[in-house]
Amino acid sequence: MTVRVVLGDDHTLVRAGMKALFDPEWIEIAAEAADGRELLRVVRRVRPDIALVDVSMPLLNGIDAIRRIARLSPHTRVIILSMYADKGYVSQARHAGAWGYVLKDEAPDQLLAAIAAVAAGDLYFPHGVPEWNPGDVPDLTEREREVLQLIAEGKRNTEIAEIMSRSLHTVRNHRARLMHKLGAHTAAELVEIAEKLGVVRFSPEA
């Protein structure tokens, strides 16, 4: 049985490396995406069996993409790829609906094993991952999380409105609610608090 896979990573070399890894006849690369929003468009179009998603993709991070993919293509199973091994973050991915979590510094065989396991209907996560406690993170809406990431990427309100196809007034309201919920007084404070809480991950991956 052929497993159709979409690659979502903003690093061209990483995508090229993964494609070179997928020599087995049972894996077909159906499409690629360089940011989170492009990933959603690609998934909607090709309806893959598995989406390999970088946790730190620009415009829409991997954790939030999981939730959106579940609605766009319910049979698509997401495997998160990441440089980050902290258990709290792995747990958030699992809670969001990911089927697997693979570290980028793992041996290539681990990724192939993850794809095989997830395609067969099994979960593939590092051992010893605790259950994520939603009470540890402020209750942010999907749109608020999107705005938060775009603020962290240095986007202005007008740019955020254009990217999200929302009015400037709506974006300003989202920003105000974020400041209130996270107890921030400046945009820099907002980003710092969000990263400490693990709501979104802003550090670039190599």
Continuous segment of H or E residues that includes residue 29: strand 27-33
Residue 23 CA to residue 202 CA, distance in Å, equals 32
Using one digit for the tens of pLDDT, what is the confidence trace for 60-85?
A: 888 889 989 988 899 999 999 988 77
CB-based contacts of 75: which residues, under 8 Å, 6+ apart? 47, 49
The confidence band for 206, taking pLDDT boundaries of 50, 70 and 90, is: very low
pTM above 0.75, yes or no: no
Q: Range of 185's domain? A: 137-197
* Beta carbons of 191 and 185 less than 8 angstroms apart: no
Residues in the chain: 206
The CATH number of residue 11's host domain is 3.40.50.2300
In a domain, 166, yes or no: yes
**DSSP-derived 3-state class of residue 190:** helix
Number of structural domains (the chain) is 2
Percentage of residues in the chain having pLDDT higher than 90:
30
